[in-house]
């Protein structure tokens, strides 16, 4: 496993406002969120390193938008698929049609016009995971799910 796409499922037991870098304060409802990213590089930017970073909860000082939410939310699952080309933007675009995008979150530097790379997935963890798995399969990816 070295390159691919992933979606981190995070859960908030209550609504709250979180300061997210330059985005400022972002209001989050209670429920589950999916953050989609890619890991197409080597070293710390490969798929294993990214997944380990989330599972190990090794974020100490926020750098990316998702880091700010990781410090506040519970990690529920990581869905990923190995691939040689990036599917991050396709997954994010499809999610924006199925779920509520958190506009600008994780996509401030997106060159593909994604509304967001973080989406509100509702109050049911199983449905959230199933929705992401369904999108991956519709793109002919072979998703794997890891629970912490």
Tokens 């890619």 belong to which residue? 38
Q: What is the pTM of this model?
A: 0.92
If you average pLDDT over residues 104-116, what whole number do you get? 74
Report percent pLDDT > 90 for the chain. 61
Classify residue 24 by burial, with Cβ atoms within 10 Å: 0-12, 13-18, 19+. exposed
Report the mean per-residue pLDDT for the chain: 90
H or E stretch covering 129: helix 125-138
* pLDDT tens column, 28-56: 999 999 999 988 877 657 899 888 888 88
Q: Indicate the pLDDT class of residue 64, thresholds 50, 70 and 90.
A: confident
Domain count, the chain: 1
Per-residue pLDDT, averaged over 97-107, amounts to: 87
Helices 125-138/88-98 angle, 10° precision: 130
State which residues form the domain around 36: 4-146
Which residues share a beta bridge with 144? 80
What average pLDDT does range 111-125 have in this prediction?
89
For 129, residues 6+ apart whose C-beta sits below 8 A from its C-beta are: 9, 76, 77, 79, 145
List, for residues 6-19, the tens digit of each pLDDT value.
Answer: 999 999 999 999 99
> Which residue, chain included where needed, has tokens 């490969």?
46
Joined tokens for residue 101: 């995008």
Instruction: Using the predicted structure, report yes or no on whether residue 1 has a pLDDT greater than 60.
Output: no
Can you tell me the mean pLDDT for 46-71?
85
Exposed e or buried b for every residue in 73-101, given b needs 16+ CB within 10 A? Answer: bebbbbbbbebeebbbbbbbbbbbeebbb
CA separation, residue 70 to residues 30, 56, 78, 94, 140 (Å): 14, 11, 13, 23, 29
């Amino acid at each position: 496993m070295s390159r691919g796409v992933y979606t981190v499922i995070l859960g908030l037991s209550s609504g709250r406002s979180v300061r997210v870098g330059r985005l400022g304060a972002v209001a989050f409802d209670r429920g589950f969120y999916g953050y989609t990213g890619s890991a197409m590089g080597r070293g710390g930017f490969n798929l294993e390193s990214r997944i380990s970073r989330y599972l190990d909860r090794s974020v100490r000082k926020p750098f990316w938008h998702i880091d700010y939410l990781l410090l506040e939310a519970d990690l529920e699952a990581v869905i990923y698929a190995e691939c040689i080309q990036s599917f991050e933007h396709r997954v994010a675009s499809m999610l924006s049609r199925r779920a509520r995008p958190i506009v600008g979150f994780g996509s401030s530097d997106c060159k593909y016009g994604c509304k967001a790379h973080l989406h509100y997935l509702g109050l049911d963890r199983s449905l959230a995971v199933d929705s992401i798995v369904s999108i991956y399969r519709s793109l002919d990816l072979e998703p794997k799910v890891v629970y912490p």
